[in-house]
Structure 1
Amino acid sequence: MAMVSSILLFLSAICIFIAQAFAQPNFLYHFCLDNGNYTSKSTYNANLNNALSSLSSNTEIDYGFYNFSYGQNPDKVYSLGLCRGDVQPDICRSCLNNATNLLPLLCPNQKEAIGWYDYCMLRYSFRDIFNIKETGPSFYMWNKKNVSANLDQFNQDLRTLLDSKRVQAAAGGSLRKFAAGNATAPNNQTLYSLVQCTPDLSEQDCSDCLAWAFGNIPQCCGGKQGGRYITPSCYFRFEVYLFYVAKADNASSPSPPLVPSVSPPPLNKTAAAKGKESNKSRTVMIIVVSIISFVVLIIISFYIYLRVRKPREKPQGESTDEIRSVESLQLGFGNIKVATDDFSDANMLGKGGFGVVYKGKLSDGQVIAVKRLSKNSSQGDLEFKNEVLLVAKLQHRNLVRLLGFCLEGIERLLIYEFVPNGSLDNFIFDPIKCVQLDWERRYKIIGGIARGLLYLHEDSRLRIIHRDLKASNILLDSEMNPKISDFGMARLFELDQSEGNTSRIVGTYGYMSPEYVMHGQFSVKSDVFSFGVLLLEIISGRKNSSFRNGENIEDLLSYAWKNWKKSTVSNLVDPTLKAGLTTEIMRCIHIGLLCVQENVVDRPTMASVVLMLNSYSITLPIPSEPAFFMNSGTESNICLQWEHDSRLIESNQSKSSSVQASINDVSITELSPR
């Protein structure tokens, strides 16, 4: 029956998704703020569910502003919902209902989050957010079309219109601070604008918030025919077409029973447009009803099948399921012995703290890499089982693929796909081979590693912290695509878990985050730190270990930070790349420094890193000082921890000192972090 329930829930979710995809307004963007976390069984989660339920189920409020709190400190939840001022109550409540369902799924364990649809905004927090003006986090969107002529006059008309609407909205009461209107623009155009504040703000705070948002127009949408700037407390939008309900020009008027338009209406074809819209609605309803009927039929048929078939004996315990899931991967020791020519030295690919890696060839001709764990390896049965179970379930082009394993007597073998170009450290730290990695290839490697980590952290069916990301654990295939390897130290998190603690510190010196080294605390941000170190190594061709810089001995992070502060980051770049020095390289150094910041909260997630690597329109925040491991003052105390902390387990792995817009076709979105 548990299986039936799961299938019913899954198919129901499909139905809901299909219905919402046809019927609901665009979801714009969201922020999951790293200001605290909760678990699924916590008091905070229960209070959050109650607060959001109260907000979305309230039918008495018809002015589009909802604010509720629930519970007692320190688990009290404050929730706030605001609908666009021209939206009628039933559409408003529908939008907020969608938001209360979606936002906790997008931010599954953050205590503070905010999300925006076209028609509404929802935010919640563990802190009091009522009656407070906040302009961050924010984002903006713009129309792709430029103002064709008379830009100065256009800007002047726009500012005059927006200022008049700002005064009108700020003067609104405690139920609604909203204004919309239009003005004549150059070239016989009509300019439409809409402004709004959360009505719990004072008149002055609303006016100040909108004035601040207007000040971002040159950065946001200067010279564009449309744009919007959105903050938690206020927002504005302007276009050269009508995008709101026209009768909403009067802010005190009740909203008519119409859905706001989100694209320009056809000129001189109003009646035809209405007819087409009506036909479109009927078509959508027919499609939705047909799909739901079909899905219900499948559910009934599947349920009958499960009821009449002979029940299968249920495996006893989770460990049984795990063993069965990997039984098909187990290979015979004799076959591997033959494949590697009895583990001959000629087939040796490399040697590390956990054993030797050999090249082999199976009887079917497939080339493999065999990791033969040493008999006295510090990777015990737990780590061996961990790597088999984890890697066998992972499928991503930037993760090395596990083909099988062998467990016979004292022999423990892991069989991987063969990656012909070996590990990344053999290239970037080699004065001859590094020339093969021009910037285009290095950038491709950086992006691939980032996508692989993002998959581990967020996109796989499991949430996995690698805990030993470094250059020697990045393998390069025949096309120099990176593949993350060696999951012996990885930790599996529950989907609602964000961090963990351990008294057994494992990893490699120079790549581990300070909170992990000093306190045993690890999270996705620990991997982000390691990624930042690796990114700076790829750019500089230097290891993050002590090296002589003139008369000083320092580590890579210290060197990078000093050059960043002096605006001489070109000193950090591998000399083989300087001939092709680009702003792209400078941007990657910037991202690397964001990743290695000492404060965990300040580091971006891998989702943000991937976005920053792929979108040059995003303004990067200024990094704070990274954690140093080789320096003077307080930093030297960290070195003492490395030398004297009895929890640290040394090995010689890899010859290093190791220790165990509206979403449519005319808008582009830009983020502005807090």
Structure 2
Amino acid sequence: MCSKMIPMTTIDVNLVMFLLIIPFSVLPVFTVADHLFTFCSNDTGNYTLNSPYERNLKSLLETLPSITSLTGFNYTSVGESPDKVYGQALCRGDVNSNSCQACVEQAGQEIINDCRNYKDAVIWYELCQVHYSFQIMTSMSVYTGKNPEWNSQQKLLSDPQHFSGVLMYLMTSLSSEAAFNPSKLMFATGTIKFRNETVYGHAQCTRDIIPNDCQACLTTALTELKGCCSSREGGIIVSRNCNVRFDLYKYYNGSSYLLTYPSHKGSNWKIGMVALAVCASVVVIVIVIGSCIVCLLKKRGQQRGVERSHQALLKELACPRGVTMTDEGQLVSSEDLPFMDLTTISAATENFSENNMLGEGGCRKSTCTA
């Protein structure tokens, strides 16, 4: 049994090529054309065209790309004072050497055209930034955060209040990671879940500053990020020494760790309310039961008092209180009646004389007149 070979047409070839291209089209595409912002400092003075300062500047911008591509960061200088030029270039931590070099090259060409005659300028791209100045950059601690126009183009969210808390938790964690974890080389990425979405973010500092300065720069940048973009699907803040960004798609290359937003704050409040309600119910029940017990005991006490009164009365009737009698039944003493013996009574009545009988007025019948 043999099979028939079917010739592949031009349409089939194009279809195969299309299917091969699709998987790669969904991967992040790094382009150097994503210009974000250019800052030309007006208060640092100008240099003269074709001056030694300009020649040193051009030489600096020519050497930055190749050196920066090796490690992703470079800080150097060219020339001697007073025409010495300091330069700094930083590529995003996930960018490969080729993309890094291409970005720094284009940034150098752009900045010298946009900021001609300026002795201090910074330019930011999606994948890199370039900064030159007439003064040492490590002594420049002034924050120069910028809010690119790109931010206003991002879509608004339906629930910005809840999203803001989740976003700031992610970005604050990344800021600490970038500043204080030496293995990160001052670049940290991470993700966090928000409902059915995944939020991607990164925080980065230039490597010529200390961790505390990095943290301070990122903290200020996050304040601006929250103000401009916490109600949007994406946002970015750039500065001389740090930058932060987030989006709802994976815009960077490589892996990143997933953070979990601590929802225990809301849970604690709910648990506290439930516990309070339960405790209140228990207290009410205890009060009701206690009141019933008190009433029952009081009622029983009254009944017992009545019973005791009846018993006491019967006992008094059966045996009068304070009466002493002999075995023959003769009264000896009584607490209620005065007791006198027979001799005393006989003497007092003159041996029970009729003249001393009660009701007779103390006189004899023979001598009393009507």
Name the SS for the 2:116 alignment partner.
coil
Match of 2:57 in 1: 48
1:94 matches 2:114: no
Please tell me the residue identity of whatever aligns with 1:235: N
1:25 matches 2:33: yes
Cα distance, 1:185 vs structure 2: 0.6
What's the CA shift string for 1:573-599, capped at 9, x where partnerless?
Answer: xxxxxxxxxxxxxxxxxxxxxxxxxxx
RMSD after superposition: 2.1
> Does the 8 A contact of 1:175 with 1:199 survive in 2?
no
Match of 2:170 in 1: 161
Please tell me the residue identity of whatever aligns with 1:147: L
Please tell me the residue identity of whatever aligns with 1:182: T
1:164-313 equivalent positions in 2, closer than 5 A = 164-173=173-182, 176-186=185-195, 188-247=196-255, 249=256
1:147 matches 2:157: yes
Match of 2:13 in 1: none
Cα distance, 1:24 vs structure 2: 3.4
Residues 217 and 228 of structure 1, relative CA distance in 2, 3 Å threshold: same
Residues 52 and 96 of structure 1, relative CA distance in 2, 3 Å threshold: same
Name the SS for the 2:53 alignment partner.
helix
Match of 1:108 in 2: 116
1:119-138 equivalent positions in 2, closer than 5 A = 119-130=127-138, 132-136=140-144, 138=146
User: For residues 114 and 228 of structure 1, what CA distance do their matches in structure 2 show?
Assistant: 16
User: For residues 172 and 122 of structure 1, what CA distance do their matches in structure 2 show?
Assistant: 24
User: For residues 143 and 104 of structure 2, what CA distance do their matches in structure 1 show?
Assistant: 21
User: For residues 85 and 91 of structure 1, what CA distance do their matches in structure 2 show?
Assistant: 11
> Does the 8 A contact of 1:191 with 1:240 survive in 2?
yes
User: For residues 86 and 97 of structure 1, what CA distance do their matches in structure 2 show?
Assistant: 18
Name the SS for the 1:37 alignment partner.
coil
> Does the 8 A contact of 2:174 with 2:188 survive in 1?
yes
> Does the 8 A contact of 1:131 with 1:200 survive in 2?
no
User: For residues 65 and 183 of structure 2, what CA distance do their matches in structure 1 show?
Assistant: 20
Name the SS for the 2:70 alignment partner.
coil
> Does the 8 A contact of 1:68 with 1:79 survive in 2?
yes
Please tell me the residue identity of whatever aligns with 1:55: L
> Does the 8 A contact of 2:170 with 2:191 survive in 1?
yes
User: For residues 41 and 140 of structure 2, what CA distance do their matches in structure 1 show?
Assistant: 17
Name the SS for the 2:40 alignment partner.
strand
Structure with greater helix share of residues: 2
**Structure 1 range deviating more: 217-226 or 236-245:** 217-226
> Does the 8 A contact of 1:63 with 1:176 survive in 2?
no
> Does the 8 A contact of 1:170 with 1:197 survive in 2?
yes
> Does the 8 A contact of 1:132 with 1:201 survive in 2?
no
> Does the 8 A contact of 1:172 with 1:178 survive in 2?
no
Cα distance, 1:182 vs structure 2: 0.3
1:314-393 equivalent positions in 2, closer than 5 A = none
Cα distance, 1:40 vs structure 2: 2.3
Match of 2:126 in 1: 118
Structure 1 unaligned residues grouped into runs of 5+? 1-21, 251-674
What's the CA shift string for 1:584-639, capped at 9, x where partnerless?
Answer: xxxxxxxxxxxxxxxxxxxxxxxxxxxxxxxxxxxxxxxxxxxxxxxxxxxxxxxx
| Aligned residue-pair number | 225
User: For residues 132 and 31 of structure 1, what CA distance do their matches in structure 2 show?
Assistant: 15
Name the SS for the 1:81 alignment partner.
strand
What's the CA shift string for 1:154-196, capped at 9, x where partnerless?
Answer: 111111111111111002449921001101113x111111110
Name the SS for the 2:165 alignment partner.
helix
Cα distance, 1:132 vs structure 2: 4.1
1:509-524 equivalent positions in 2, closer than 5 A = none
Q: Taking structure 1 as the reference length, what is the TM-score of the superposition?
A: 0.32
**Structure 1 range deviating more: 73-82 or 238-247:** 238-247
> Does the 8 A contact of 1:182 with 1:190 survive in 2?
yes
User: For residues 134 and 245 of structure 1, what CA distance do their matches in structure 2 show?
Assistant: 31
Please tell me the residue identity of whatever aligns with 1:26: D
User: For residues 238 and 135 of structure 2, what CA distance do their matches in structure 1 show?
Assistant: 21
1:460-475 equivalent positions in 2, closer than 5 A = none
Cα distance, 1:107 vs structure 2: 1.2
User: For residues 93 and 189 of structure 2, what CA distance do their matches in structure 1 show?
Assistant: 9
Match of 1:67 in 2: 75
Name the SS for the 2:45 alignment partner.
strand
Over alpha carbons, which structure has the higher Rg?
Answer: 2
> Does the 8 A contact of 1:194 with 1:238 survive in 2?
yes
1:39 matches 2:48: yes
1:503-582 equivalent positions in 2, closer than 5 A = none
Cα distance, 1:200 vs structure 2: 1.1
Identity %: 34
Residues 229 and 137 of structure 1, relative CA distance in 2, 3 Å threshold: closer
Q: Taking structure 2 as the reference length, what is the TM-score of the superposition?
A: 0.57
Q: Which of 60, 66, 70 is residue 57 of structure 1 equivalent to?
A: 66
User: For residues 175 and 217 of structure 2, what CA distance do their matches in structure 1 show?
Assistant: 10
Please tell me the residue identity of whatever aligns with 1:43: P
Residues 97 and 225 of structure 1, relative CA distance in 2, 3 Å threshold: same
Please tell me the residue identity of whatever aligns with 1:145: K
> Does the 8 A contact of 1:51 with 1:69 survive in 2?
yes
Match of 2:8 in 1: none
Name the SS for the 1:86 alignment partner.
coil
Cα distance, 1:146 vs structure 2: 1.5
User: For residues 137 and 194 of structure 1, what CA distance do their matches in structure 2 show?
Assistant: 16
Name the SS for the 1:213 alignment partner.
helix
> Does the 8 A contact of 2:161 with 2:231 survive in 1?
no
Structure 2 unaligned residues grouped into runs of 5+? 1-29, 258-370
User: For residues 175 and 105 of structure 1, what CA distance do their matches in structure 2 show?
Assistant: 34
User: For residues 183 and 81 of structure 2, what CA distance do their matches in structure 1 show?
Assistant: 26
User: For residues 138 and 74 of structure 1, what CA distance do their matches in structure 2 show?
Assistant: 29
User: For residues 129 and 110 of structure 1, what CA distance do their matches in structure 2 show?
Assistant: 16
> Does the 8 A contact of 2:40 with 2:120 survive in 1?
yes
